[in-house]
């Protein structure tokens, strides 16, 4: 589905060539597999020009992002008219520093409702300023009607009555139905979009902080006094006994119990690709071996078990079986 909203800068029916002299730009939606380089090449632009025109600091782009392609150099085809928003919808342009949570709160809707109205969002956390959002009247899912005959299948799939959909979209006759129009399905949860965005968020925020607090010991060699030292394979974060500790990333619990290596009560979580996070010195374990945990899920409570001088979390990150400094990975 193309970005809903009133994109007044799109021109219908204009063929671009390298000789077009008009000012302005076309909007190009990023598709899976696209890179800045391939898009720039398709429009006979340099990567640097395309990045500068879109105020990009790096080359990372996501499916669903909108890129501005200058008319003066574009060769990519016809600019398309964005479909009109469903009835009773409003529009909102994302402002600098504004989050989706703030937008949802402003209009008195949930994040799920906002995603349902904009199921092609590329991210929940890293949307660029200027993205146009549809604001729905309530919970539901916006879909693009490919063919008028698809409506019966949509109603059956989501167990909706024709009357409820007609009212939600101000449809008064079959003549109001047009291929390519945006259709609001009231009460339908945007399950697929939410699952996709959860995967995107985990990739963007690959490891989140399991606990916020004062770091009392860093990764690397540390002096133990009396001329002795050892290598600290993680970081220690001080917190009161009983403070919840969260999984830094989703994965499967491969160990939950008492460690004989000084960690006290220890949880190890194996993530996609084989990397692991270790969490030590718990006062209480809240997950068992074999459990699948989501990123951010509480897995235990801060304690001082094992070899410990006070309540804290000892956190390690292992890549390919080797402990690495977590501070370079945590968001």
Residues 74-125 pLDDT 10s: 444 444 556 788 989 999 999 988 999 999 999 999 999 999 999 989 889 8
Distance CA 153, CA 192 (A): 18
Same domain for 196 and 221? no
Query: Which domain, by its residues, includes 54?
Result: 1-82
Residue that finishes a domain, picked among 204, 229, 246 = 204
The answer on pLDDT for 255 being more than 90 is yes
> Is this prediction's pTM over 0.85?
no
Same domain for 311 and 230? yes
Q: Which two tokens stand for residue 305?
A: 């078990």
* Residue 201's pLDDT band (cuts 50, 70, 90): confident
The answer on pLDDT for 289 being more than 80 is yes
Same domain for 167 and 255? no
CATH number, domain of 117, equals 3.10.350.10
**How many domains would you assign to the chain?**
3
Residue that finishes a domain, picked among 60, 82, 104 = 82
Do the domain assignments include residue 308?
A: yes
* Percent of the chain clearing pLDDT 70 (strictly above): 86
The answer on pLDDT for 4 being more than 60 is no
Average pLDDT over residues 255-273: 95
- pLDDT: is 204 or 75 the higher one? 204
* Residue 35's pLDDT band (cuts 50, 70, 90): confident
Same domain for 100 and 138? yes
Same domain for 68 and 94? no
Same domain for 166 and 257? no
């Amino acid at each position: 589905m193309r970005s809903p909203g009133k994109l007044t800068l799109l021109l219908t029916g204009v063929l671009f060539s390298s000789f077009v002299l008009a000012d302005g730009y076309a909007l190009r939606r990023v598709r899976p597999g696209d890179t800045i380089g391939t898009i720039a090449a398709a429009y006979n632009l340099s990567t640097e020009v395309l990045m500068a025109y879109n105020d990009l600091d790096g080359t990372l782009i996501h499916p669903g992002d909108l890129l501005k392609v200058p008319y003066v150099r574009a060769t990519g085809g016809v600019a398309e008219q964005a479909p009109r928003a469903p009835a009773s919808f409003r529009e909102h342009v994302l402002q600098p520093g504004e989050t989706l949570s703030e937008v949802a709160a402003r209009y008195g809707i949930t994040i799920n409702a906002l995603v349902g109205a904009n199921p092609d969002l590329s991210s929940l956390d890293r949307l660029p300023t200027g993205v146009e959002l549809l604001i729905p009247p309530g919970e539901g899912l916006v879909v693009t009607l490919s063919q008028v005959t698809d409506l019966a299948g949509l109603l059956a799939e989501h167990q909706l009555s024709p009357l409820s959909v007609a009212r939600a979209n101000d449809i008064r006759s079959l003549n109001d139905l047009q291929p390519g129009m945006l259709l609001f399905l009231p009460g339908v949860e945007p399950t697929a979009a939410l699952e996709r965005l959860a995967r995107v968020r985990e990739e963007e925020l690959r490891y989140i902080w399991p606990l916020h607090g004062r770091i009392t010991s860093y990764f690397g060699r540390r002096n133990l006094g009396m001329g002795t030292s050892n290598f600290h394979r993680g970081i220690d974060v001080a917190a009161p006994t009983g403070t919840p500790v969260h999984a830094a990333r989703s994965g499967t619990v491969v160990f939950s119990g008492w460690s004989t290596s000084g960690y006290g009560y220890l949880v190890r979580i194996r993530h996609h690709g084989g990397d692991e996070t270790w969490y030590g010195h718990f006062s209480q374990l809240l997950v068992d071996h074999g459990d699948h945990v989501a990123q951010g899920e509480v897995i235990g409570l801060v304690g001082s078990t094992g070899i410990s001088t006070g309540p804290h979390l000892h956190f390690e990150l292992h890549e390919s079986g080797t402990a690495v400094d977590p501070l370079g990975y945590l968001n």
